[in-house]
């Protein structure tokens, strides 16, 4: 097809992955060449039969073998493991890779995709949190674009179009505040996974939903913004905005503020990352201002939700500290989901891991992966004792 835009999707079975496929469905000039899941082969098989990619990867080996049999009546090649993920990320003729896996698992395939000259539609914020200095330097070296999918970063990116970067005074990063906005620590003692999974405005994967409730997600986003837009952490101001209509803003030297607004739906940021600088038609998701009598803004409570403060510290220090912040959180959230750690324990574990870690400045990929391993083992050992 003329003007065909070939893409691959890391994590096609997740929340961002399935919404990316909705965008693809609406625009036939997108062609999915390759996609991946961790283990959900039921959904991946359905997706493969509908979108007919040339390659699919299931990270879990056993599940990959099952899928191979299921798809044996097709020409679709099935691969597995971390190497398979890299194959999806570097697949021939793909122009843009959508990184929609969760956690630090996105880092290595993204690095390989950049080295293969692919543009990155980046949802996996953990990639920049852990390896921001490597990824941004490689993107410059290989002349590829890092196009934000995260709604706030898409809003900032949109608000930067046409203006001089050197005249940016501050970035105003909005946060919904999550389900526990306004609560204090003593009201959060008995929070269950079900409570924390009830996000007021956004329907997302489990990990990012829990992270939104602890403000860990906003912390990760501060570090993500630092790398994407090359601004120091102290120029990134988090603002609680309960309605999730103003997706973020840029304040310039003349105090003019440019914002991007829209209903809370990931399709626009996903679509914009794939079509930038074009804006394609969207039939649904019209913002009806009369439904919102007021838009509110507030300071975040960094005493109760102190993971945000920890993230800013980690982001300011740089080195391996943001990896410790992220990896400690990944383990702590998974322990919380299994009922092995209290809700408040998540932020406590991050603080403990950060205070025990000797920061490595300008780490190599290997040092980042070693740090990830250390932080996981550290948190697991504190919980299992």
Which residues are near Mg ion by CB under 5 A? 150-152
**Min CB(295)–Mg ion separation in Å:** 18
Buried b (16+ CB within 10 A) or exposed e, 128-166: bbbbbbbbbebbeeeebebbbbbbbbbbbbbbbeeeeee
Tell me which residues in 19-48 interact with ligand NDP (CB under 6 A).
37-40
Q: Any bridge partners for residue 55, and if so which?
A: 34, 77
Please identify, among the stretches 15-23, 133-141, 186-194, 370-378, the one whose residues bind ligand NDP according to the rule CB under 6 A: 15-23
Please identify, among the stretches 22-30, 192-200, 205-213, 313-321, the one whose residues bind ligand NDP according to the rule CB under 6 A: 205-213
Q: Indicate which of ligand NDP, Mg ion, none lies near residue 59 (CB less than 5 to 8 Å, by partner kind).
A: ligand NDP
- Are 330 and 207 a contacting pair, CB within 8 Å? yes
Closest CB to ligand NDP among 90 and 105? 105
Please identify, among the stretches 130-138, 165-173, 200-208, 323-331, the one whose residues bind ligand NDP according to the rule CB under 6 A: 200-208
Question: Does 13 participate in binding ligand NDP (rule CB under 6 A)?
Answer: yes
**Min CB(220)–ligand NDP separation in Å:** 7
Q: Indicate which of ligand NDP, Mg ion, none lies near residue 88 (CB less than 5 to 8 Å, by partner kind).
A: none
Question: Does 17 participate in binding ligand NDP (rule CB under 6 A)?
Answer: yes
Q: Is the peptide bond before 114 cis (omega within 30 degrees of 0)?
A: no
Closest CB to Mg ion among 45 and 211? 211
- Are 161 and 277 a contacting pair, CB within 8 Å? yes
Return the ∠ at Cα 32 (arms to 31 and 35), rounded to 5°.
175
Tell me which residues in 251-290 interact with ligand NDP (CB under 6 A).
266
Q: Any bridge partners for residue 9, and if so which?
A: 35, 98
Closest CB to ligand NDP among 93 and 203? 203
**Min CB(369)–ligand NDP separation in Å:** 14
Question: Does 218 participate in binding ligand NDP (rule CB under 6 A)?
Answer: no
Q: Residues 344, 350, 351, 355: what is their CA dihedral angle, to the nearest 10 degrees?
A: 160
**Min CB(385)–ligand NDP separation in Å:** 26
Question: Does 65 participate in binding ligand NDP (rule CB under 6 A)?
Answer: no
Closest CB to ligand NDP among 159 and 244? 244
Closest CB to ligand NDP among 208 and 310? 208
Nearest one of 244, 248, 242 to 221, comparing CA atoms: 248
User: What is the CA 316 to chain-centroid distance, rounded?
Assistant: 20
- Are 240 and 175 a contacting pair, CB within 8 Å? yes
**DSSP code of residue 346:** H
Question: Does 331 participate in binding ligand NDP (rule CB under 6 A)?
Answer: no
* Euclidean distance between CA atoms 167 and 257, whole angstroms: 12
Please identify, among the stretches 95-103, 135-143, 187-195, 361-369, the one whose residues bind ligand NDP according to the rule CB under 6 A: 95-103
Q: Among residues 23, 88, 100, 344, which is the contact residue for ligand NDP, using CB under 6 A?
A: 100
Residues in the chain, total: 385
Residue of this chain nearest to Mg ion (CB atom): 150
Tell me which residues in 112-131 interact with ligand NDP (CB under 6 A).
123-126
* Euclidean distance between CA atoms 142 and 329, whole angstroms: 32
- Helix intervals (H) in the chain: 15-26, 41-51, 61-70, 81-89, 107-115, 125-142, 151-160, 193-196, 206-214, 216-229, 267-275, 307-317, 321-337, 343-356, 365-384
**DSSP code of residue 277:** T
Closest CB to ligand NDP among 62 and 234? 62
Catalog residues that contact ligand NDP under the rule CB under 6 A: 11-17, 37-40, 59, 85, 100-103, 105, 123-126, 150, 202, 204-208, 266
């Amino acid at each position: 097809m003329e003007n065909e835009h070939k893409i691959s999707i890391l994590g096609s079975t997740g929340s961002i992955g399935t919404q990316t496929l909705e965008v693809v469905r609406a625009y036939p000039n997108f062609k999915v060449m390759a996609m991946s899941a961790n283990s959900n082969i039921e959904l991946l098989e359905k997706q493969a039969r509908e979108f007919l990619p040339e390659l699919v990867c299931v990270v879990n080996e056993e599940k990959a073998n099952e899928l191979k049999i299921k798809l044996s009546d097709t020409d679709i090649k099935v691969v597995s493991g971390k190497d398979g993920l890299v194959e999806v990320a570097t697949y021939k003729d793909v122009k843009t890779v959508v990184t929609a896996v969760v956690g630090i698992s996105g880092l290595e395939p993204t690095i390989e995709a950049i080295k293969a000259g692919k543009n990155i539609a980046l949802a996996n914020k953990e990639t920049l949190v852990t390896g921001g200095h490597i990824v941004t330097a490689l993107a410059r070296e290989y002349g590829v674009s890092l196009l934000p999918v995260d709604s706030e970063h898409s809003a900032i990116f949109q608000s930067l179009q046409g203006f001089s970067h050197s005249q940016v005074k501050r970035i105003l990063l909005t946060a919904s505040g999550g389900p526990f906005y306004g609560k204090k620590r003593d009201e959060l003692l008995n929070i269950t996974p079900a409570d924390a999974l009830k996000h007021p405005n956004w329907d997302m994967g489990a990990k990012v939903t829990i992270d939104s409730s602890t403000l860990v997600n906003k912390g990760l986003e501060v570090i993500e913004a630092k790398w994407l837009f090359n601004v120091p952490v102290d120029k990134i101001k988090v603002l609680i905005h309960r309605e999730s209509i103003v997706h973020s803003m840029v304040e310039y030297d003349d105090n003019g503020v440019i914002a991007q607004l829209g209903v809370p739906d990931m399709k626009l940021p996903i679509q914009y990352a794939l079509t930038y600088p074009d804006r394609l038609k969207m039939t649904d998701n019209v913002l009806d201002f009369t439904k919102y009598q007021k838009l509110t803004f507030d300071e975040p409570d960094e005493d109760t939700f102190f993971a945000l403060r920890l993230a800013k510290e980690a982001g300011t220090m740089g080195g391996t500290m943001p990896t410790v912040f992220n990896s400690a959180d990944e383990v702590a959230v998974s322990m919380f989901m299994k009922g092995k750690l209290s809700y408040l324990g998540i932020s406590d574990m991050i603080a403990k891991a950060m205070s025990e870690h000797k920061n490595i400045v300008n780490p190599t990929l290997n040092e980042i992966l070693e740090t990830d391993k250390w932080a996981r083992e550290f948190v697991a050992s504190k919980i299992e004792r």
